């Protein structure tokens, strides 16, 4: 912990409060205007709404096909995160316990691949999976998230598996557990804090991702929330009210989760950055 008191404590509080207001004001402006009519928005974007009018929300909810987009995003995010955490933990565990040259090189390639920008992959990715007829399908997208997300997850798990004593697993195996049973009954439960970190990092990424799903999902019925927000704006370019409501609806689920799990999310980001 860094000690010593600041010489002018009130100045710090004033600075931080001003900063925090700057960070939060855009969201406040968004919420205020989501209850206003277009005329009221353009004549004074800073005025308070006259009354709680949910017309914009009703329009946005129907136009962006909210329930479908929401459940698509939910399924894609949950299944991807589940697969990434489980398979990456297994792989990291295998790499640590079977520390052969081959496994070391494979691990190094996975770590090195993290510097490849997505733009260098997207064109051949669309060509390959397009020619296999695997586009426009949320299961293909989930599979790709497993491919793109596993490097970082294996990397983070790798560091934590090393700190689990091997004796613990050997004892379980002497008692008659198979390797798979040992992993799921002993190792994976011990890794729960790491799994939480990986789940948080991946939810923040996949829930909000735009470019990859925009290349893979074409059918409007398959759209995720970021995709339907974007296409919604295309149809309502000058009508701000419904757009504001659509934006609020898009960020609402994650903000609600944040209100309850804020402590864990911040801790997850901290843990994920320690190498």
For residues 121-150, which are near another protein according to CB under 8 A? 121-125, 127-128, 143-144, 146-148, 150
Q: Which of residues 50-79 bind another protein (CB under 8 A)?
A: none
Distance between first and last Cα of the chain = 19
CB of 219 to another protein, least distance (A): 18
* 176 conformational bin, left if phi > 0, alpha if psi -120 to 50, beta if neither: left
Residue 174 touches another protein, criterion: CB under 8 A: no
Stretch that binds another protein, among 11-19, 56-64, 191-199 (CB under 8 A): 11-19
| CB of 187 closer than 8 Å to CB of 171 | no
Contact 66, 74 (CB under 8 A): no
4 binds another protein (CB under 8 A): yes
Q: Is 169 in the site for another protein (CB under 8 A)?
A: yes
Q: Which residue has the tokens 């998230």?
A: 145
Question: Smaller CB distance to another protein: residue 70 or 148?
Answer: 148
Token match 């404590």: residue?
Answer: 9
CB atoms within 10 A of CB 262: 10
Stretch that binds another protein, among 48-56, 58-66, 172-180, 191-199 (CB under 8 A): 172-180
209 is a contact residue toward another protein (CB under 8 A): yes
Compute how many residues bind another protein; rule: CB under 8 A. 100
Residue 191 lies near another protein (rule: CB under 8 A): no
Residue 30 and residue 63: Cα distance in Å, rounded? 19
> What's the min distance (Å) between Cβ of 231 and another protein?
11
Min dist CB 81 to another protein, Å, is 14
**Is residue 97 a contact point for another protein (CB under 8 A)?**
yes
Q: Quick check: 266 binds another protein (CB under 8 A)?
A: yes
Q: How far apart are CA 196 and CA 272, in angstroms?
A: 10
Alpha-carbon distances of 7 from 18, 20, 272, rounded to whole Å: 19, 21, 34
């Amino acid at each position: 912990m860094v000690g010593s008191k600041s010489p002018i404590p009130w100045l710090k509080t004033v600075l931080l409060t001003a900063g925090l207001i700057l960070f939060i004001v855009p969201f406040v402006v968004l919420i205020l205007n989501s209850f206003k009519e277009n005329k009221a928005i353009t004549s004074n974007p800073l005025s308070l709404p006259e009354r709680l009018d949910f017309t914009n929300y009703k329009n946005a909810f129907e136009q962006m096909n909210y329930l479908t987009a929401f459940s698509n995003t939910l399924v894609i995010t949950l299944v991807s995160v589940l697969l990434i955490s489980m398979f990456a933990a297994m792989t990291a565990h295998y790499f640590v316990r079977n520390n052969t040259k081959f496994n070391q090189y494979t691990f190094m390639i996975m770590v090195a691949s993290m510097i490849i920008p997505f733009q260098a992959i997207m064109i051949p990715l669309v060509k390959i999976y397009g020619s296999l007829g695997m586009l426009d399908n949320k299961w293909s997208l989930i599979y790709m998230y497993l491919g793109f997300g596993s490097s970082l997850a294996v990397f983070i798990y790798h560091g934590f598996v090393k700190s689990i004593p091997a004796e613990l697993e050997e004892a379980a195996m002497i008692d008659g557990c198979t390797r798979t049973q040992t992993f799921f009954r002993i190792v994976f439960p011990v890794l729960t804090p790491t799994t939480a970190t990986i789940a948080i990092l991946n939810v923040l990424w996949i829930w909000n991702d735009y470019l990859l799903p925009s290349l893979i999902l074409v059918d409007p019925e398959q759209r995720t929330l970021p995709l339907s927000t974007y296409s919604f704006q295309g149809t309502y370019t000058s009508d701000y009210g419904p757009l504001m409501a659509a934006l609020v609806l898009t960020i609402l689920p994650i903000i609600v989760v944040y209100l309850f799990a804020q402590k864990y999310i911040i801790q997850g980001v901290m843990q994920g950055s320690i190498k």
